Structure 1
Amino acid sequence: MRYSSIDKSLFVENRLRLTELLKPRSLVILNSNDIMPSNADGAMGFKQNSDIFYLTGVDQEETVLLTFPDHPDEKFREVLFLRETNELIAVWEGEKLTKEQAREVSGITNVYWTHQFETIFGNIIFEADHVYLNTNEHTRNGSIVQTREARFVAEFKERYPVHHLVRLAPLMHQLRAIKQPAEIALMQKACDITKLGFERLLKFVKPGVQEFEIEAELIHEFLINRSKGFAYQPIIASGANACVLHYIQNDRTCNDGDVLLLDVAAEYANYGSDLSRSIPVNGKFTKRQREVYDAVLRVFKSAKSMLVTGNIWDEYHLEVSKIMESELIGLGLISKDDITKQDPDWPAYKKYFPHGTSHFLGLDIHDVGNKYRRFEPGMVFTCEPGIYIKEEGLGIRLENNILITAEGNIDLMGHIPIEAEEIEDLMNK
């Protein structure tokens, strides 16, 4: 792998934490993601299933994990299945993990080839009183593509119709919401690489540059620092494009007088970072641009201060909305009368700030977690307020990644320039 090896103790301990949540005599089954086809004989790049990576560290297709802590035979309590390599695969695709390499990566002793699954599975399944199967229960999941996990669930129900099935996703959401020290270090590495990319841009951006040229500068910096690239589809939105929340065309010329909204960040070892910055293309904010920028920055700082142990999602967002209302009034964008007459289901501030302030961050950019769970040490959230004024062709968003601790919070991107003066100074050096 491009990234440095991860100590297998992380994955061993993750499996132990999962074991503590299982019912007695339970079997857990997890499958890797598929390699998705494109056209003809083409395929897209492989992205591992986050849950199986969390529990094994294996970053390879056709991988299956079985964990059955109470199985009478010790050799069936943890079993890992890998795609068996051969000379042809090695020539065309490169070598796959050997069994010994998989043991070193995952800490799992009993490793078999995937084609042996049915034989081994027959020695395991009938000892289980409960079978935990995995599904995508992210509240924002809208994919119509059938995953390898979904196929396995359908096949399992047909072959073993009287087994008692249990949802694995709630347990994985509970575990993955709290980042372990090793995970935080990997996320910090992703943030550090993102910092290098952003600082490169501050020297590069000027009137006349293309949005896709900026994307190219970033991917160069990310790759030479051992990242696979962007943690998500990059948003490089100049001028009015910044008012399109998920603008990804990145094909416009950046003009003198534009503000450039950047929502761009690196991944590292499958862990994501998530940065937003808004910079003046010519290196100097106008008076109005600076007013809006400073308003967003004040909301950012207030919101960040509320990402602390014991707070809860809905109460946090309500408080942020009140601060945003005040800033929008100060900018002349809404009035107190607008607030008085607003639709409770679509408050007045949402015309200029239509998205949430934070989301969970980790192996997935919109990581798994439960919004009804009070904030705890080890949780990592984005903090990303924004103001988008279509009639002015101006959008400002600022975003950092915040780790909650028992003593307060730590900004994992606190070393990345965010103050307007600092950005202007760096752009004009």
Structure 2
Amino acid sequence: MKYHQIDRQLFINNRKKFTAAMKPNSVAVFNSNDIYPVSADSTLPFAQSRDIFYLSGVDQEESILLLFPDAPYENLKEILFLKETNDHIAVWEGEKLTKERAYEVTGIKNVIWLQDFHKTLKEIMAYSDTMYINTNEHYRASIETETREARFVKWWKENYPAHKVEKSNPILQRLRSVKEQAELDLIQKACDITDKGFRRILNFVKPNVTEYEIEAEFIHEFIRNRSKGFAYTPIIASGNNANVLHYIENNQPCNAGDLILLDVGAEYANYSSDMSRTIPVSGKFSERQAQVYNAVLKVKNDATKLLVPGTLWKEYNQEVGKLMTSELLGLGLLDKSDVQNENPDWPAYKKYFMHGTSHHMGLDTHDYGLLHEPMKANMVFTVEPGIYIPAEGFGIRLEDDVVIQEKGEPFNLMRNIPIEIEEIESLMNA
């Protein structure tokens, strides 16, 4: 891995929190992700399942974590199963975790080779009453590929039908949404790398540069700072491309006088950052561009102040809608009759700002978190309002990542990334 080793105490604490929420005499199993084939002998780069990583720190394929806090024997309370490594594998694929190294990474003392998983599980099932299965119930999830986790669940249900079943996901949704300080430090590192990438492109952008060249500058800076790369597919959208919310082609020239909407974030140690900035190709905003930009910035700053413990996500978005409506009236994009006659299910402001303002962020860019439950301290949210005006040939979105505090305003993890017009223009023309 490119990143520095994470203190295993984080994963020890995460396991303690998870097992404390389990029912008596129950077992939980978590599988690593598959390595997905492309064609012939090609594969996609391995990306670890965030749940097993959160609970163990293992960033390797063909791994299984088993938790059984009420086990009758100490060595069965937590077990890590790994594919057995050897010198041949080390030569052809690189170093894999040994039992000793796995303990250093995870803090798990009992590491067993994967070939003994079924035998060990059979013994454990005889002692236990309930199995926690791990399913992905994220509100944005749409899964068509059968995962390694799903195959295990199917196999387990066929072989142990007499056991009761519980779900790991509701526990993980709550635990993963509230970050430990070590996690906040890792997210901050990802944000700091994103900052470096953004400052790099401010010195690079000029008329006729292409969107993909800007993307290349970002990835160069990310990788040289120990990131694997982008936390999600980057959006480099110049001109009217910015009005396509998930524009990812990144293949057009950037023309003088246009704006470029950048929605880009680096990952670090599997933790995400998520930044949006909008900059002028020619290094200076026009009067109208600046007017709209400052309206979006005001909504972002005012919306951020609403992210406090106890806030409900649905009500928060309604309040942001009111803030945006006021700005759109001031810009002349809406008039009072638009607001008075609006459809409550699709308010007038949605014509120019059609997406949500915030989402949980952490190990996933759209991280776990139960949106119907009140916000808590140490949750990390994006704040990303935008105004999109196809008729004027540009769209503007601004986005920071913030940590909810016990008291006071959220802490902005992107506080050092330039966002004010004056600073952006100054850096672009330095």
TM-score (norm 1): 0.99
Residue aligning to 1:34: 34
Which letter maps to 1:400?
D
Q: Tell me the secondary structure at the aligned position of residue 256 of structure 1.
A: coil
Note if 1:285 corresponds to 2:285: yes
Please give the alpha-carbon distance, in whole angstroms, between the structure 1 residues aligned to 2:113 and 2:348.
58
Which letter maps to 2:155?
E
Please give the alpha-carbon distance, in whole angstroms, between the structure 1 residues aligned to 2:351 and 2:136.
31
Output one character per residue of 1:25-44: Cα deviation in whole Å (capped at 9) or x when no partner. 01011000111111111100
C-alpha RMSD of matched pairs (Å): 0.8
Residues matched between the structures, number: 429
**Pairing 1:296-315 to 2, within 5 Å after superposition:** 296-315=296-315
Which letter maps to 2:320?
V
**Structure 1 stretches of at least 4 aligned residues deviating more than 6 Å after TM superposition:** none
Output one character per residue of 1:38-63: Cα deviation in whole Å (capped at 9) or x when no partner. 11111001111101000000000011
Residue aligning to 2:399: 399
Residue aligning to 1:218: 218
Give how far 1:344 is off. 1.5
Percent identity among equivalent residues? 58
Q: Report which stretch shifted further, 66-75 or 307-316.
A: 307-316
Give how far 1:130 is off. 1.2
Which letter maps to 2:420?
E
Residue aligning to 1:19: 19
Please give the alpha-carbon distance, in whole angstroms, between the structure 2 residues aligned to 1:333 and 1:40.
53
Residue aligning to 2:425: 424
Which letter maps to 1:426?
L
Give how far 1:18 is off. 0.7
Residue aligning to 1:48: 48
Please give the alpha-carbon distance, in whole angstroms, between the structure 1 residues aligned to 2:343 and 2:361.
31
Residue aligning to 2:144: 144
Please give the alpha-carbon distance, in whole angstroms, between the structure 1 residues aligned to 2:20 and 2:117.
26
Output one character per residue of 1:343-392: Cα deviation in whole Å (capped at 9) or x when no partner. 21111111110000000000000001011111111100000000001111
Which letter maps to 2:131?
V
Residue aligning to 2:382: 382
Which letter maps to 1:333?
L
Q: Tell me the secondary structure at the aligned position of residue 39 of structure 2.
A: coil
Please give the alpha-carbon distance, in whole angstroms, between the structure 1 residues aligned to 2:38 and 2:89.
20
Q: Report which stretch shifted further, 222-231 or 329-338.
A: 329-338
Structure 2 runs not aligned, ≥5 long: none
Give how far 1:206 is off. 0.4
Please give the alpha-carbon distance, in whole angstroms, between the structure 2 residues aligned to 1:405 and 1:126.
45
Residue aligning to 2:353: 353
**Pairing 1:75-114 to 2, within 5 Å after superposition:** 75-114=75-114
Q: Tell me the secondary structure at the aligned position of residue 405 of structure 1.
A: coil
Q: Report which stretch shifted further, 341-350 or 84-93.
A: 84-93
Residue aligning to 1:240: 240
TM-score (norm 2): 0.99
Residue aligning to 1:370: 370
Output one character per residue of 1:42-89: Cα deviation in whole Å (capped at 9) or x when no partner. 100111110100000000001100000001011111000011123332
Residue aligning to 2:415: 414
Please give the alpha-carbon distance, in whole angstroms, between the structure 2 residues aligned to 1:335 and 1:116.
69
Please give the alpha-carbon distance, in whole angstroms, between the structure 2 residues aligned to 1:200 and 1:24.
54
Q: Tell me the secondary structure at the aligned position of residue 262 of structure 2.
A: strand
Please give the alpha-carbon distance, in whole angstroms, between the structure 1 residues aligned to 2:72 and 2:161.
23
Output one character per residue of 1:193-219: Cα deviation in whole Å (capped at 9) or x when no partner. 000000001000000101000011000
Please give the alpha-carbon distance, in whole angstroms, between the structure 1 residues aligned to 2:70 and 2:50.
25
Q: Report which stretch shifted further, 119-128 or 409-418.
A: 119-128
Please give the alpha-carbon distance, in whole angstroms, between the structure 1 residues aligned to 2:150 and 2:302.
42
Output one character per residue of 1:88-108: Cα deviation in whole Å (capped at 9) or x when no partner. 322221121111000110000
Please give the alpha-carbon distance, in whole angstroms, between the structure 1 residues aligned to 2:119 and 2:130.
20
Residue aligning to 1:323: 323
Q: Tell me the secondary structure at the aligned position of residue 43 of structure 2.
A: coil
Please give the alpha-carbon distance, in whole angstroms, between the structure 2 residues aligned to 1:162 and 1:116.
23
